[in-house]
Chain A
């Protein structure tokens, strides 16, 4: 097990380096001179040269990349071109908001998705099954930003039950989490259903039934454990798309998270902030996938030992 983790960690190195190279090149493919953008259109030549020297923009590209990488490892992403604040200082509070949103939404989608998927599988072809799968299909096909707008319209504007915007209070959390988590719930429900159906048709389940175990014991103690293994992989992937999907949800509900910050700063051409946000989301996603891989292996092993 330890060896496996070490091997996976070593495999991450080229991927992480690749991610940093891509994010680094984003800045350098940007049309226009960064120093000019920082100093403004009418800045004198000397100011621009000064900024160029300060940022090391005249160094050879590999040297610049090396500095970027060194700083990024220390969580130093430079200063914002718009607010002149250190990027890490601007990002830190927003990162936690986005992480909270993604984590709550993941919990919501796992909870809803598992229950729906299990009901569907246990009562295959019943009205409940058909209904759940139909709802899941719609959940999968809805653009989440539109769903968010519709929820806001019903629950905030017409019924006045929940606040339409913001983040922090329990009431403010409900709508964004439903908005962001629904698609994940649909994916997990479908995966759980098909995985459960696969497991239920296996011999050892027939044996368990033949032994005279109660159906509930067969389903929850024998079938579910094995059926959940493929679901774990989907959950990891879902978490990644939730982090990225937060960009839209945060925009809809005017939540001051990293996603909304990213959109605002793309429009304001504030690249250090955009660069850092993209890098952070990608790196978090890479590590979440690592955790999923490890837990997958772990789950499989336990079942083998049983």
Chain B
């Protein structure tokens, strides 16, 4: 966030507004002004509702095989067709949606908490701590994309919790870098100096004044990272390094689709479309939010 913009917010704020509330209010005001952030936001809410409520509304069992109807094309009975065990793909996708989103959310939350703490410590205290932490983040960033997650899964067992840990670790350096930058920008503002002079503790300054001010870039990054986490998680399941069969995780469903592509092309189609929809929603939301919060865009 740029300093000019923060100064403006500070001037606007009235005495009774707490920094937290003010920050969230400000955030919300900008959010509703940006069309694509709104569309993305609605899409995310709809997907979350389907993921939570959907499994209770489906009448079929996502795991029960019925070999009489295997590899059927999409029809009125089976909207997305059936797979090689005769399981209804629509039901499996609805159940898988929750698993995939759960992995994406949890990994991002864990990784962002760690990254935010590391970034704030690094930016706020500076000096040697900062140098050491940032070198370590550089090392983690040397493993591009899915590679770090693959390397971690190779020593851990492939399971849902390990996929979450692997993606969370991969999230840490990106969050730490962004948070460090924002913390540096906020730390040098005059009112923080004033707080220090008044004898406020570091913890109080960080939690009440620095964190609320850097919340917006964290939310933008989190939204964009969830998109990334969903692709990585489903990629790992696709490779057999994540969710194991018979789990209906969307990437695992694609892996079935690959094996039966010659006989039944529809198996891979729908799970992939749904993954794309999730990623698209978070990308649109994150992009819109970034534009809305970018002071350069506000001027135009």
Tell me if A243 counts as interface (CB < 8 A to partner B): yes
CA distance A274 to B142 in the complex (A): 16
CA distance A145 to B242 in the complex (A): 15
Within 8 A of A (CB), among B255-297: 257-258, 261-262, 265, 268-269, 271-272, 275-276, 279-280, 283-284
Instruction: Specify which chain B residues have a CB less than 8 angstroms from the CB of A286 in the assembled complex.
Output: 142
Instruction: Specify which chain B residues have a CB less than 8 angstroms from the CB of A245 in the assembled complex.
Output: 145-146
Partner of B258, one of A14, A149, A278, A282: A149
CA distance A27 to B235 in the complex (A): 23
- Once A137-B284, A146-B275 are accepted as A-B contacts, the answer to whether A18 and B146 lie under 8 Å apart by CB is no
CA distance A281 to B142 in the complex (A): 9
19 A-B pairs (CB sep. < 8 Å): A15-B138, A15-B139, A18-B139, A137-B284, A140-B279, A140-B283, A142-B279, A143-B279, A145-B238, A146-B254, A146-B276, A243-B147, A244-B146, A251-B238, A263-B239, A263-B241, A266-B241, A267-B240, A278-B147
Q: Give the residue among B136, B145, B257 with the most A Cβ atoms within 10 A.
A: B145
Within 8 A of A (CB), among B155-193: 155
Tell me if B107 counts as interface (CB < 8 A to partner A): no
Residue of A nearest to B152 (CB): A26
Tell me if A295 counts as interface (CB < 8 A to partner B): no
Within 8 A of B (CB), among A224-274: 237, 240-241, 243-245, 247-248, 251-252, 262-263, 266-267, 271, 274
- Once A141-B227, A248-B238 are accepted as A-B contacts, the answer to whether A240 and B144 lie under 8 Å apart by CB is yes
Tell me if A138 counts as interface (CB < 8 A to partner B): yes
- Once A15-B139, A29-B155 are accepted as A-B contacts, the answer to whether A141 and B144 lie under 8 Å apart by CB is no
CB A65 to nearest CB in B, in angstroms, measures 15
Given contacts A145-B238, A146-B276, list 10 more A-B pairs with CB under 8 A: A22-B139, A137-B284, A138-B276, A142-B272, A149-B261, A152-B261, A262-B150, A263-B240, A278-B143, A285-B144
Provide the B219-233 mask, 1 if CB < 8 A to any CB of A, else 0.
Answer: 000000001000100
Q: Is the interface of A mostly helix, strand, loop or mixed?
A: helix
- Once A15-B135, A153-B261, A252-B258 are accepted as A-B contacts, the answer to whether A274 and B151 lie under 8 Å apart by CB is yes
Instruction: Specify which chain B residues have a CB less than 8 angstroms from the CB of A244 in the assembled complex.
Output: 143-147, 150
Residue of A nearest to B261 (CB): A153
Q: How large is the interface on B (under 10, 10 to 19, 20 to 34, 35 or more residues)?
A: 35 or more
CB pair B139–A251 under 8 Å, yes or no, is: no
Instruction: Specify which chain B residues have a CB less than 8 angstroms from the CB of A37 in the assembled complex.
Output: none
Tell me if B91 counts as interface (CB < 8 A to partner A): no
Q: Is the interface of B mostly helix, strand, loop or mixed?
A: helix
Instruction: Specify which chain A residues have a CB less than 8 angstroms from the CB of B82 in the assembled complex.
Output: none
Tell me if A150 counts as interface (CB < 8 A to partner B): yes
CB A245 to nearest CB in B, in angstroms, measures 6
Tell me if A23 counts as interface (CB < 8 A to partner B): yes
CA distance A67 to B124 in the complex (A): 39
Interface size on A, residues (CB 8 A): 46
CB A52 to nearest CB in B, in angstroms, measures 19
CB pair A26–B151 under 8 Å, yes or no, is: yes
- Once A149-B257, A157-B265, A240-B144 are accepted as A-B contacts, the answer to whether A137 and B235 lie under 8 Å apart by CB is no
CA distance A138 to B238 in the complex (A): 20
Tell me if B23 counts as interface (CB < 8 A to partner A): no
CB pair B234–A143 under 8 Å, yes or no, is: yes
Instruction: Specify which chain A residues have a CB less than 8 angstroms from the CB of B144 in the assembled complex.
Output: 237, 240-241, 243-244, 281-282, 285
CB pair A142–B284 under 8 Å, yes or no, is: no
Tell me if B252 counts as interface (CB < 8 A to partner A): no
Q: When A and B form their complex, which 7 residue pairs have the shortest distance between CB atoms, in order from nearest? A: A146-B272, A18-B139, A240-B144, A244-B145, A141-B280, A141-B279, A241-B145
CA distance A271 to B151 in the complex (A): 10
Partner of B135, one of A14, A30, A240, A241: A14
Q: Give the residue among B142, B234, B268, B276 with the most A Cβ atoms within 10 A.
A: B142
CA distance A47 to B262 in the complex (A): 47
Tell me if B154 counts as interface (CB < 8 A to partner A): yes
Instruction: Specify which chain B residues have a CB less than 8 angstroms from the CB of A252 in the assembled complex.
Output: 258
Instruction: Specify which chain A residues have a CB less than 8 angstroms from the CB of B143 in the assembled complex.
Output: 19, 22, 244, 278, 281-282, 285
Residue of A nearest to B157 (CB): A31
Instruction: Specify which chain B residues have a CB less than 8 angstroms from the CB of A22 in the assembled complex.
Output: 139, 143, 151
Instruction: Specify which chain B residues have a CB less than 8 angstroms from the CB of A251 in the assembled complex.
Output: 238-239
Tell me if B153 counts as interface (CB < 8 A to partner A): yes
CA distance A211 to B145 in the complex (A): 47
Instruction: Specify which chain A residues have a CB less than 8 angstroms from the CB of B142 in the assembled complex.
Output: 15, 18-19, 282, 285-286
Instruction: Specify which chain A residues have a CB less than 8 angstroms from the CB of B240 in the assembled complex.
Output: 263, 267
Instruction: Specify which chain A residues have a CB less than 8 angstroms from the CB of B275 in the assembled complex.
Output: 143, 146
Partner of B265, one of A19, A137, A153, A285: A153
CB B35 to nearest CB in A, in angstroms, measures 13
Instruction: Specify which chain A residues have a CB less than 8 angstroms from the CB of B251 in the assembled complex.
Output: 143
CA distance A157 to B269 in the complex (A): 14
Residue of B nearest to A289 (CB): B142
Partner of A281, one of B147, B154, B257: B147
CA distance A299 to B265 in the complex (A): 48
CA distance A23 to B128 in the complex (A): 25
CB pair B280–A240 under 8 Å, yes or no, is: no
CB pair A247–B146 under 8 Å, yes or no, is: yes
Instruction: Specify which chain B residues have a CB less than 8 angstroms from the CB of A266 in the assembled complex.
Output: 150, 153-154, 241
